[in-house]
Amino acid sequence: MKNNLTKQKVVDAASSLFFQKGFHGTSVRDIADKAAVNVSLISYYFNGKQGLLEYAVTAYYEAYLQSVEATLEEVAPLSPKDQLHQLIFTIIHYKQSYHQLTCFIQRELSLDSVFVREMAVTYLAKENYYIQKTFYDALSNKVQSDEKTYLLMQLKGMLITPYILHSEWKDQIIGEYSHQQFIKKYVRTIQKWLDFVLVNKNEKDFIHSGNKPS
């Protein structure tokens, strides 16, 4: 247990420094000093800075996808729209709970960092599958495929925007309470967009089929 706590302390320190200074701008000494551990311990646990990054990114995505899968299993009896609402909450809650590491990973992916993308590619494919399937299940089958693609692109953009443009509201998120408020308000914003899209698209298709809404 003690070893696990020490490893997590190192990962937390590295996440903070990678977020602030970037991977290349952070030294093993910086991480060791912030975590208050010996430099040799980082080599022992992670085989250096690159191994530490691999461990952090892998652990991040493993826990993330477990959370997504657990949510989808739990909400399976609900309507497609409610399943989608719950999925969005789970995604934003997880990303915000690991805010600094999320921002670092998204920044590296947006810069097309080969190293990070190679580590994350399988996880990103699974994430995309879950989001796409849940979103498409909530949409009318009569929505054209290219329009579905554009709508999905907008949804995925909203899920990552806070972590690519985090500097836009960094002054508003200070402390645990503000993180929780951000989750609540931002999830509500996305859910309102989803409700607008689902109602308008599904109603439009209903009308085009020759019917009128009651």
Decide if 214 is inside a domain: no
Q: In this model, does residue 12 exceed pLDDT 50? A: yes
d(CA 105, CA 99): 10
Residue 31 shares a structural domain with residue 135:
no
Q: At 104, list the tokens.
A: 């670092």
Average pLDDT, the chain: 87
Q: In this model, does residue 204 exceed pLDDT 60? A: no
Decide if 213 is inside a domain: no
Residue 142 shares a structural domain with residue 88:
yes
Residue 178 shares a structural domain with residue 96:
yes
Domain housing 138: 54-208
pLDDT at 54: 93
Decide if 116 is inside a domain: yes
pLDDT at 203: 55
Decide if 15 is inside a domain: yes
d(CA 165, CA 7): 29
SS3 assignment for 131-185: HHHHHHHHCCCCCCHHHHHHHHHHHHHHHHHHHHCHHHHHHHCCCHHHHHHHHHH
Q: At 73, list the tokens.
A: 């299993």
Q: In this model, does residue 75 exceed pLDDT 90? A: yes
d(CA 171, CA 155): 25
CA angle 111, 112, 116 (to 5 degrees): 110
d(CA 148, CA 63): 29
Q: In this model, does residue 50 exceed pLDDT 60? A: yes
d(CA 78, CA 89): 15
Q: Number of H helices and number of E strands within the chain?
A: 9, 0
pLDDT in tens, 123-160: 999 999 999 999 999 987 777 888 899 999 999 999 99
Higher-pLDDT residue of 41, 112: 41
